[in-house]
Amino acid sequence: MSYKTIEVHPVSGALGAEIEGVDLSCELDAAVVAEIRDAWLEYLVVFFRDQKLTPAQQVAVAKRFGDPVEYPFVQGLPEFPTVTPVIKLPDETINFGGLWHTDTTYQACPPMGTMLYALKLPPFGGDTLFANGYLAYETLSPGLKATLDVLTGIFSSHKGRVVDTRAPRIADAPKAGSDNARVAEHPVVRIHPETGRKSLYVSFAHTTHFKGWTEAESKTLLDFLFEHQTRPEFTCRFRWTPGSVTLWDNRCALHNPINDYHGYRRELHRITLAGQPTTG
């Protein structure tokens, strides 16, 4: 795809591209927004460098791509409730969301996308990995595809270690009902509503079992899928710098923030964009 208003530079063979020539703090022309969206759909996650955004500006640019929604467990900023601080403090050893996952799939309508803006970073570490759900599905055997095409996954907000990754921020700014588990059902093979492509839609953090199967029966197949979908050749790695912005597609991409910077503060602002019911 050729672009007229932006520069797009792929960062890996699997997914991800850096976009240059855009100042997100300004009101974006409709043609620029359209090309960013095209790149986002093509590469699943796009990256911008050297941005300077107030919370109001981040909300404004996010609204050009979707409808910002509040995170269900942690309070957002007082004046901007859809902006969630993603913080790890120097004395903490667990990072927010530090497992392979797709955001809040334990909701009936999980978010379409996520925008993350870097404020404070450690001197090293704290990169984020992304994985391509399309490739994860397309590289499976025909027999396994046929099996998965008809399965429904059960997704929980309180599966195993994922609870620990959000606990410090819930302690700081809890929402009502933050102790209550949320559970949702989604097709294991999700059809993207815009591209029409199929992706493998499970994650280590939130998928507990298949509908109609026990957790014990589901475990072996799920463990295989969790390992398969994060094979190195399906991934890219983003090294944050101050002012970096990422926008990723939760409908077909997973992410995993790496927890390798103990003793330092890392702070970003996150906005999630409302999604729609999943289809398989």
pTM: 0.96
pLDDT for 161 equals 85
Look up 255 and say whether it is catalytic: yes
Q: How much is the mean pLDDT over the chain? A: 96
Residues 23 and 46: their CA atoms lie apart, in Å, by 14
Q: Which helix (H) or strand (E) holds 166?
A: helix 162-172
Check 190, 255, 266, 269 and give the catalytic one.
255
Check 186, 206, 266, 270 and give the catalytic one.
270
pLDDT tier for residue 107 given thresholds of 50, 70 and 90: very high
Q: Which helix (H) or strand (E) holds 163?
A: helix 162-172
Domains and CATH numbers, the chain: 7-273 (3.60.130.10)
pLDDT tier for residue 178 given thresholds of 50, 70 and 90: confident
- Report yes or no: 61 and 52 within 8 Å, Cβ to Cβ: no
pLDDT tens, residue by residue, 55-65: 999 999 999 99
Residues 197 and 193: their CA atoms lie apart, in Å, by 8
Q: Which of 91, 83, 77, 98 is nearest to 245 (CA)?
A: 83
Look up 38 and say whether it is catalytic: no
pLDDT tens, residue by residue, 180-198: 899 999 999 999 999 999 9
Look up 91 and say whether it is catalytic: no
Neighbours of 142 (CB within 10 A): 7
Look up 269 and say whether it is catalytic: no
Strands (E), 16-156: 17-20, 45-48, 68-69, 84-88, 113-120, 128-132, 152-156
